Structure 1
Amino acid sequence: MSELIARQKGRLRNMILWILWQSPKRGVDIIDDIYKITWGFWKPSPGSVYPLLSKMVEEGVIEKINDSKYKITSKGIEEIKDLLPIRQANTIEDAIQELEGLAEFFKDVDRNKLLLHKERIMKCIREIEEVIKNG
């Protein structure tokens, strides 16, 4: 297996664990969440997600529960503990740091793909400006 493929599988595994850390999900919901998280830039195939989910169940990092949902286990949480945010009350400073991170992300994104979402982004900017102006 090439190094690139191995790295991609590691990323998918970590994303699945992170998504399941937030709440139990079905495989199709995990695929949809990754698509949303990456703003439509990556939608993993069922052929890569479902075999990985089965392997992760065998390893004990997730478990299958009712309604065909998967849930992270304490072993899975331990595996991604360095990726998890510190639980704290969200502050304005946290939100500003998130916005600054998003601004940097947008600088790195392919402009043609970014333009597909221009109206939604501009709407968010206008809403934030309105809150600040009226605050």
Structure 2
Amino acid sequence: MSELIAKQRGRLRSMILWLLYQSPKRGIDIIDDIYKMTWGFWKPSPGSVYPLLSKMEEEGLIRKIDGEKYTITDKGIKEIEGIIPLKHRSSIIDAIEELEGLATFFAEADKTQLSQYKERIEKALRKIEEVIKGG
């Protein structure tokens, strides 16, 4: 297993809380969203997600609504406030820190997998450069 995937597994709890902060989700939606967030580099297994959801529910970080969706509680929001920039607190510095984190992620990523997204990454970089230049 790659070091990158191992690091992501360690972040699963925070990733779940962040996703639930955005909107209530079913377990399968969380798995799919993490797969998309990591650009296909990592898809957590149901065997790691569902037991963690149960544990987080017991800890009062999340709760079930509508019988199948999970939502974050105030306690869950407090747990992630210090480590993930939340949308309602976004600022330029938050965005820059996120970009720096993405640069580190790409530096550690498998270059053969990363190369298939080269055009999309370059397009995003051009957009950012245009904004910086005032265009």
Above 0.5 in TM-score? Answer: yes
CA displacement at 1:127 relative to structure 2: 3.6
Residues matched between the structures, number:
128
For 1:1-135, what aligned pairs fall within 5 Å after superposition? 10-66=10-66, 68-85=68-85, 87-91=88-92, 94-129=94-129, 135=135
> How has the CA–CA distance of structure 1 residues 100 and 51 changed in structure 2, closer, same or farther, with 3 Å as cutoff?
closer
Could you tell me how far apart the structure 2 residues matched to 1:43 and 1:67 are?
Answer: 24
- Secondary structure of the corresponding residue to residue 11 of structure 2: helix
For 1:26, the aligned partner's letter is: R
- Secondary structure of the corresponding residue to residue 25 of structure 1: coil
Could you tell me how far apart the structure 2 residues matched to 1:15 and 1:99 are?
Answer: 17
Could you tell me how far apart the structure 2 residues matched to 1:85 and 1:10 are?
Answer: 18
Root mean square deviation, CA, Å? 2.8
Stretches of structure 1 lacking an aligned partner (at least 5 in a row): 1-6
> How has the CA–CA distance of structure 1 residues 97 and 25 changed in structure 2, closer, same or farther, with 3 Å as cutoff?
same
CA displacement at 1:65 relative to structure 2: 0.5
Q: TM-score, length-normalised on structure 1?
A: 0.74
- Who is 1:3 aligned against? none
CA displacement at 1:128 relative to structure 2: 3.8
- Secondary structure of the corresponding residue to residue 71 of structure 1: strand
CA displacement at 1:88 relative to structure 2: 3.4
CA contact (8 A) 2:61 2:73 kept: yes
Larger Rg: 1
- Secondary structure of the corresponding residue to residue 117 of structure 1: helix
For 1:74, the aligned partner's letter is: D
Could you tell me how far apart the structure 1 residues matched to 2:98 and 2:77 are?
Answer: 23
**Identical amino acids, percent of aligned pairs:** 66
Could you tell me how far apart the structure 2 residues matched to 1:8 and 1:133 are?
Answer: 34
Give CA-to-partner distance per residue, 1:88-116, whole Å, 9 cap, x none: 3533x554454344333322222111112
